[in-house]
Amino acid sequence: MRAAPLHQLSQKRDIGGVTLKLKQFETLAAVLHTEFQKGVARAKGGRQGEVYLSVDEYADVDWDKLGFRLMETDYMYIMKCCQDDEFSHGHLNRYGNIELSPSAGVLNYAQGLFEGLKAYRKVNGNGFLIFRPEENARRMQIGSDRMCMPSPSVEQFVHAVKQTVLANKRWIPPPGKGSLYVRPLLMGSGPILGLAPASEYTFLVYAAPVGNYFKEGLAPINLVIQDESYRATPGGTGAVKTIANYSPVLKAQMQAKKKGFTDVLFLDAVDNKYLEEASSCNIFIRKVDERLVSVEDLTDADEVFCTGTAVVVAPVNSITYKGQRYKYNCGEDAVSRKLYKSLTDIQMGIAEDKKGWTVEID
């Protein structure tokens, strides 16, 4: 069976004498297309106008061995618009390669942003939860202004995330086994030679099932301070989630991992003494006051932990600076462990969400 792209379908379709409206047909076509392509659906004959499907609830994945790596799923969401225009209509496409001009703005001048959020399967089995997607949408809007790009509205962003989650729901791990990591991208996809904003922009959302970000799993991690290169500089783009912020940290990160460390902790670019963040996450130090945190503060900190969409909450066992190793509390009484449980319980629907942070997808 070969299904046409959903956005090319007409407003009504006849199947076995039953007329379906567009949305009904989109849903049925998506299911049929996915399952026939994956070879896990069995269509059974019935009375005229009826279609029966036997669909596996989960993809064929060893959920106990999930790491944080790419696993191709079924669908991605795509929406396009021109410079000085607004995004209007997007659609689901089969997950796969996209076509870009060699002179695309994102390839030549790194005109691109990305976001990251997670979808969890509810413990009662009824639906899925995503955590504060509107905040990711607002952050993308701030970043798009800085990078001279049009951005989806908050409603368009959340709708695209929901559609991507639902289209790939069989890839959402069982409760307690992981989550579906959702990656929205905004990029200058139009061709441009001189340094200027691209002529066309693509908003794309894909997803992949993931487990723990660090290879240590939930075990405490070990960081090393980098004081020769910087994560962000004053007046730069460190305040927004542009793709250009990430590749410069790779060299320091690889060097740290070769020495047995989990990740790198960067200092500020002005005084070279205040803690900024790790390669891919934020850093918190438990002390009695709130202010800029210097390297010297590490000597008597009670506890240190990293936070982020991918890492969730990761306790830090040690930080090494100029050969000196400082160790921290990672026991059962650690604040990081309590925060991790409180946060993930809300994200998975185990605990009551009193703040209205989660969005339910049925």
Question: Which residues, 6+ apart, have CB-to-CB distance to 79 below 8 Å?
Answer: 87, 88, 89, 90, 91, 152, 156, 160, 202, 203, 204
Task: Kindly report, residue by residue over 319-335, the tens digit of the pLDDT.
Answer: 999 999 999 999 888 99
Average pLDDT over residues 197-207: 98
Strand ranges (E), 196-302: 200-210, 221-226, 263-267, 275-278, 282-286
Quickly name the fold that domain 63-211 has: D-amino Acid Aminotransferase; Chain A, domain 1 (3.30.470)
Active site residues: 241
What's the chain's average pLDDT? 86
CB 268 within 8 A of CB 230: yes
Q: Retrieve residue 123's tokens.
A: 């413990």
Task: Kindly report, residue by residue over 8-41, the tens digit of the pLDDT.
Answer: 443 444 444 444 445 444 555 555 554 444 443 3
Q: Is the dihedral of CA 258, 260, 263, 269 positive or negative?
A: negative
Average pLDDT over residues 38-60: 45
Quickly name the fold that domain 221-330 has: D-amino Acid Aminotransferase; Chain A, domain 2 (3.20.10)
DSSP output for 142-157: HHHHHTT-----HHHH
Sequence ranges of the domains in the chain: 6-54, 63-211, 221-330
Q: How confident is the model at residue 291 (pLDDT cuts 50, 70, 90)?
A: confident
More confident residue, 44 or 267: 267
CA 24-26-27 angle, to 5 degrees, is: 65
The answer to whether the predicted template modeling score (pTM) of the entire model surpasses 0.85 is: no
Lowest mean pLDDT among 72-86, 194-208, 319-333: 319-333
Q: Retrieve residue 251's tokens.
A: 């060299």
pLDDT above 90 for 293: no
Task: Kindly report, residue by residue over 213-253, the tens digit of the pLDDT.
Answer: 887 777 899 999 999 999 899 999 999 999 999 999 999 99
Provide the pLDDT for residue 191: 97
Task: Kindly report, residue by residue over 103-137, the tens digit of the pLDDT.
Answer: 999 999 999 999 999 999 998 878 999 999 999 99
